[in-house]
Amino acid sequence: MASTALWSRGAAWLRSCRGTALQRGRSREAPGVLRGRGCCREVVATCERYAVRRLPFARLADGDVAFFERLMPGRVVTGEEEVKPFNVDWLKSVRGCSQLVLKPQTTAEVSQILRYCHERNLAVNPQGGNTGLVGGSVPVFDEIILSTALMNQIISFDKVSGILVCQAGCVLERLNEYLEEQGFIMPLDLGAKGSCHIGGNVATNAGGLRLLRYGSLRGTVLGLEVVQADGSALDCLTSLRKDNTGYDLKQLFIGSEGTLGVITAVSILCPQKPKAVNLAFLGCQSFAKVLETFTTCRAMLGEILSAYEFMDEKCMELVERHLKLSSPVTDSPFYVLIETSGSNSTHDEEKLNNFLEQAMASGLVTDGTVATDDKKIKMLWSLRERITEALTHEGYVYKYDISLPVGKLYDLVTDMRARLGQSAKNVVGYGHLGDGNLHLNITAESYSHSLLDAIEPFVYEWTARYSGSISAEHGLGFKKKQFIQYSKPREAVVLMQQFKAMLDPKGILNPYKTLPSALESSTC
Amino acid sequence: MASTALWSRGAAWLRSCRGTALQRGRSREAPGVLRGRGCCREVVATCERYAVRRLPFARLADGDVAFFERLMPGRVVTGEEEVKPFNVDWLKSVRGCSQLVLKPQTTAEVSQILRYCHERNLAVNPQGGNTGLVGGSVPVFDEIILSTALMNQIISFDKVSGILVCQAGCVLERLNEYLEEQGFIMPLDLGAKGSCHIGGNVATNAGGLRLLRYGSLRGTVLGLEVVQADGSALDCLTSLRKDNTGYDLKQLFIGSEGTLGVITAVSILCPQKPKAVNLAFLGCQSFAKVLETFTTCRAMLGEILSAYEFMDEKCMELVERHLKLSSPVTDSPFYVLIETSGSNSTHDEEKLNNFLEQAMASGLVTDGTVATDDKKIKMLWSLRERITEALTHEGYVYKYDISLPVGKLYDLVTDMRARLGQSAKNVVGYGHLGDGNLHLNITAESYSHSLLDAIEPFVYEWTARYSGSISAEHGLGFKKKQFIQYSKPREAVVLMQQFKAMLDPKGILNPYKTLPSALESSTC
């Protein structure tokens, strides 16, 4: 049987990623060199780099694979090469050792998979577009990967209400293209839009570039269909803007990173496509001026302001060097991107011009360009959107996604830069200033424990001192879960653990993620 | 001791509201005449009108009152006359028999109260401004009333971020006035603003008049402080726009109607006060034209549209008759109120005028008036906001708060009117059309079981047929909880009951509310 042959290869590969028993704490043996976007063989297995012990789940057996083959013939992936991309995260920073990827097409299939895994005590790693940045979307050990890649059907769209209902595996950009044809847009947008799935977006409560205008998914997601750990489906897929009948269960699944249930379908409120979009890309001589520019534009642009992003000069340098993009605005320590979206181009341009005149006259901005046509708008957006990609060309990237009071936002970058000195290649800051969200990124030629120790827990302590969040929008996943206490009190974490125990008593759903666990303290 | 004397009077009164044991199902003996806003003695006790059995909580003893008097001297209310207003809802439709109202000022006091009640197995009814419409804010039996009336301190307001942190007992209108002085507004507004507390707003996930523009409390509430059933405080009072560290626990408390915890403080994101507000009050000749007007204005007003409300001619007649208000627009079967809020009065007026010209030219609206000054805006808003009040002058009001696909919204009113014929005095419809939210109200001289039986479950079955919600924004409280299954599947209700059991194992928090219970099947 084909699956058995594939399975053998998988088993051979598995041996290669079982390391020697490691000491408690971070492994000192793991070099973890990562250059560019090469073969994932180079990525050190998560269970080798981090001190984490496999929980006592059952191990996959031939009979299990045979069961899934019968359930969904042709949509069971077991070959080492085929499984490999599902085991490694987009950043190529963590690697699991799963031997099995399942690609259900329907909620009923997801139910049957989870019922079986629950019964057999097999751990499951739900995976969307695998674009997460905290190691939440790939297995840590041999968890079965449940991919939503084939759950990509639009179920309905109502042009009167703007409510879209679709399966969890729909790619964000495809949804947006579909909606644009009907005069609407998705209420969220992010750099990973070409790959990420809406189910993953909801499971991680993705923020992104439109949050300033359209709010978080907690407001725009109207309904969810979720399959629980034991395989039972929970149908809260309503398409109503308002529904106060009992507790809002769907909220618990939004942002739970697949640890409480598998989201199979989403109902989401989509705004009308703005008739006019304008972009201003500006240079500021200090972060204080970036802040003042924000205050001014918020007052003058009001309801048409749809994005206020910032990046420092180092970000611009990396984007230009690695991606060969060129900016029409240069020689500034900071850049801001301001987007307006409105229903009347004449009004919007007038508002924007008034603001720009004032900003230039008062010296808030020293250089800038404005775009109204699609091509130039896309080009300017790419300067901001592709920073993450540019950074991966620098070697290993230590990523931090911090919420802070907006006035303190850049101090963390400055302090970190001073602290690390020459031991880091780059310390850069960019992000969604309008939401108080900083992306602090530190690069080095390769992963090193000593650099990590210089960064953490300093970065978390600094954040906690100003009552910030150690994860604004990326979630906790595998990499940040042990730092939750910097942003949440003990009582809250205990309550979260109670919810987890109630909804997934065997702990099979995305184990080793989101919540700290006393059990995970040793090796693989 | 003063408290003992008061207590004796309370005990005497308690006897008067203990009815004879009633048969299963609705009591046929209870006449329940209710005229105007007279003495609450006239309000039939909830346990007499409805078939509900007191759960086996402890009964209040002198020692309990003494404990509370020591804990918070001068803020313990026990006199019959003083307690009375806390026992009866604003509609004067339900009445509890509590003998004790506690008025804590701090979270620590709330903790101590709940710890004591949990230990003693005493039931507690959290109460804000007592403006709820589903009997959720008053006791059913002798639950201790925990009033947030004295928890009315603003903790902080940050003008840069627009984030307000305040105690739960702040009155919504007071908060809005405070914010207006700083150039901001609350993201919600409702008719009850002069009395309702922000804690109650959050506990019931209040919708209201600004939801169309600023979204639901699920997006704007950034943090909560909650005291749990056992008295432990849960501090999730963050002031960050984005925070993805673990499960969003606060969401479970939003809209849980005080059954899972007592909200003691709120952190909420407030929008800037719009520089320009315009109001158009228009007459439409059919509901189809009301809908078409909505589609047109949404496209033409875009981002400045902040409210789209509708009311039928019967609503207008009652507002004019009982409240002596007069409308400048007359002789239309339907009226719509359109509000714009923006940052540039010239632009906004131009957009509104363009829309009005088109709406008049195409015959969508036949009459109308526009207001830009505060006084006229308030007058026009009062025509819509005071419908609820006008209805109470008609006798007993059967209130339904329904979410439906917007195209079906008024069909329910028409069908209900045809069904009830002469047995109802009025069948009226109004509401937040922009949110798909209908307020269906039926009035009669007095409460009658036969009329109720003609309305229910018909109204819920009708709503469920179109996948609507039987409570869009009012919640389930006491009156609607047994109908939850019309809007939520069994699995969801079971899960809600598990949450309740986990967070409040003794069930002392606002018992008999929100969730159906197998135990409550007989009499008081």
At B160 the pLDDT is 86
For residue A258, pLDDT over 90 is answered with yes
Q: Which residues of A158-182 are buried (b: 16+ CB within 10 A; e: fewer)?
A: eeebbbbbbbbbbbbbbbbebbeee
Residue type at position A357: E
Note whether B249 and B163 are same-domain residues: yes
Note whether B346 and B318 are same-domain residues: yes
At B33 the pLDDT is 32
Q: Would you give the end-to-end CA distance of chain B in angstroms?
A: 31
Q: Which residues of A touch B404 (CB under 8 A)?
A: 240
How far is the C-alpha of B152 from the C-alpha of B155, rounded, in Å? 9
At A51 the pLDDT is 86
At A30 the pLDDT is 33
Q: Is residue B449 part of a domain?
A: yes
Confidence of residue B14 (pLDDT cuts 50, 70, 90): very low
Q: Are B406 and A160 in contact (CB < 8 Å)?
A: yes
At A362 the pLDDT is 97
**Which CATH number fits the domain that encloses residue B431?**
3.30.70.2740
Q: Which residues of B touch A233 (CB under 8 A)?
A: 491
Note whether B263 and B199 are same-domain residues: yes
Confidence of residue B13 (pLDDT cuts 50, 70, 90): very low
What 3-state class would DSSP assign to A139?
coil
The residue in chain B having the minimum alpha-carbon distance to the alpha carbon of residue A305 is B303
Confidence of residue A42 (pLDDT cuts 50, 70, 90): confident
Q: Is residue A509 part of a domain?
A: no
Between CA B246 and CA B253, with CA B250 as vertex, the angle to 5 degrees is 140
Q: Which residues does A475 contact at the CB level (< 8 Å), separation at least 6?
A: A132, A134, A136, A204, A205, A255, A257, A514, B244
Q: How many domains does chain A have?
A: 4
Q: Which residues of A touch B470 (CB under 8 A)?
A: 245
At B260 the pLDDT is 98
What 3-state class would DSSP assign to B306?
strand
On the CB side of B508, CA atoms within 13 Å amount to: 25
The closest CB to that of A489, out of B205, B235, B260, belongs to B235
Q: How many CB atoms lie within 10 A of CB A384?
A: 24
Give yes or no for a contact between A244 and B472, defined as CB atoms under 8 angstroms apart. Answer: yes
Structure tokens at B344: 């540039």
Q: pLDDT (tens digit, 9 = 90+) per residue, A470-520?
A: 999 999 999 999 999 999 999 999 999 999 999 999 999 999 999 997 644
Domain boundary among B147, B175, B200: B147
Give yes or no for a contact between B146 and B262, defined as CB atoms under 8 angstroms apart. Answer: yes
Note whether B239 and B319 are same-domain residues: no
Mean pLDDT, residues B291-313 taken together: 96
For residue A38, pLDDT over 50 is answered with no
Domain boundary among B147, B171, B204: B147
Q: Which residues of B touch A467 (CB under 8 A)?
A: 238-240
The closest CB to that of B514, out of A246, A272, A275, belongs to A246
| Torsion angle defined by CA atoms of residues B351, B355, B360 and B366, in that order, rounded to the nearest 10 degrees | -100
Structure tokens at A420: 């690390």
On the CB side of B231, CA atoms within 13 Å amount to: 14
Rounded CA Rg of chain A = 23
Note whether A210 and A82 are same-domain residues: no
The residue whose two tokens read 């363009």 is B354
Domain, as residue range, for B443: 394-487
In this structure, what are the phi and psi dihedrals at residue B483, rounded to the nearest 5 degrees? Answer: -105, 10
Note whether B162 and B64 are same-domain residues: no
Q: Is residue A410 part of a domain?
A: yes
| Distance of residue A395 Cα from the nearest chain B Cα, in angstroms | 27
Q: Is residue B512 part of a domain?
A: no
Q: Which residues of A touch B233 (CB under 8 A)?
A: 491
**Exposed/middle/buried for residue A43 (C-beta within 10 Å: 0-12, 13-18, 19+):** buried
**Which CATH number fits the domain that encloses residue B216?**
3.30.465.10
Higher pLDDT, B435 or A8: B435
Find the DSSP H helices in A302-386. 313-323, 345-361, 374-385
Q: pLDDT (tens digit, 9 = 90+) per residue, A181-190?
A: 999 999 999 9
At B518 the pLDDT is 61
Higher pLDDT, A29 or A266: A266
Note whether B159 and B293 are same-domain residues: no
For residue A21, pLDDT over 70 is answered with no
Quote the strand ranges of A232-357, DSSP E. 233-236, 262-269, 276-284, 305-312, 334-342
Q: pLDDT (tens digit, 9 = 90+) per residue, B67-94?
A: 999 999 999 999 999 999 999 999 999 9
Domain boundary among A117, A132, A147: A147
Q: Is residue A517 part of a domain?
A: no
**Which CATH number fits the domain that encloses residue B80?**
3.30.43.10
Mean pLDDT, residues A423-434 taken together: 96
Q: Is residue B504 part of a domain?
A: no
Find the DSSP H helices in A438-513. 449-455, 458-465, 490-503
**Which CATH number fits the domain that encloses residue A346?**
3.30.70.2190
Count chain A–chain B contacts defined by CB atoms under 8 A: 264
Q: Is residue B518 part of a domain?
A: no
Between CA A395 and CA A401, with CA A398 as vertex, the angle to 5 degrees is 135
The closest CB to that of B488, out of A246, A350, A406, belongs to A246
Q: Which residues of B touch A251 (CB under 8 A)?
A: 218, 248, 251-252, 254
Q: Are A474 and B244 in contact (CB < 8 Å)?
A: yes
Q: Which residues does B444 contact at the CB level (< 8 Å), separation at least 6?
A: B395, B396, B398, B423, B424, B425, B451
For residue B427, pLDDT over 70 is answered with yes
At B41 the pLDDT is 46
Note whether A375 and A468 are same-domain residues: no
| Distance of residue B228 Cα from the nearest chain A Cα, in angstroms | 11
Confidence of residue A283 (pLDDT cuts 50, 70, 90): very high
Of B165, B166, B212, whose CA–CA distance to B189 is shortest? B212
Of B236, B226, B234, whose CA–CA distance to B264 is shortest? B226
The residue whose two tokens read 């059952």 is A58
Note whether A138 and A6 are same-domain residues: yes
Q: Which residues of A touch B342 (CB under 8 A)?
A: 302-303
Q: Are B241 and A435 in contact (CB < 8 Å)?
A: yes
Length reported for chain B: 524
Q: Are A244 and B205 in contact (CB < 8 Å)?
A: yes
The DSSP bridge partners found for residue A469 are: A403
Q: Which residues of B touch A347 (CB under 8 A)?
A: 344, 347, 350-351
At B16 the pLDDT is 37
Q: pLDDT (tens digit, 9 = 90+) per residue, B350-381?
A: 999 999 999 999 999 999 999 999 999 999 99
Note whether B60 and B10 are same-domain residues: yes
Testing the interface with A: which of B161, B182, B240, B244 to mutate, by most A Cβ within 10 A?
Answer: B244
Q: Is residue B517 part of a domain?
A: no
For residue A32, pLDDT over 90 is answered with no
How far is the C-alpha of A63 from the C-alpha of A116, rounded, in Å? 12
Q: Are A218 and B251 in contact (CB < 8 Å)?
A: yes
Give yes or no for a contact between A90 and A191, defined as CB atoms under 8 angstroms apart. Answer: no
The residue whose two tokens read 């059919």 is B286
Note whether A258 and A285 are same-domain residues: no
**Exposed/middle/buried for residue A273 (C-beta within 10 Å: 0-12, 13-18, 19+):** middle
Length reported for chain A: 524
Q: Are A161 and B298 in contact (CB < 8 Å)?
A: no
Note whether A225 and A284 are same-domain residues: no
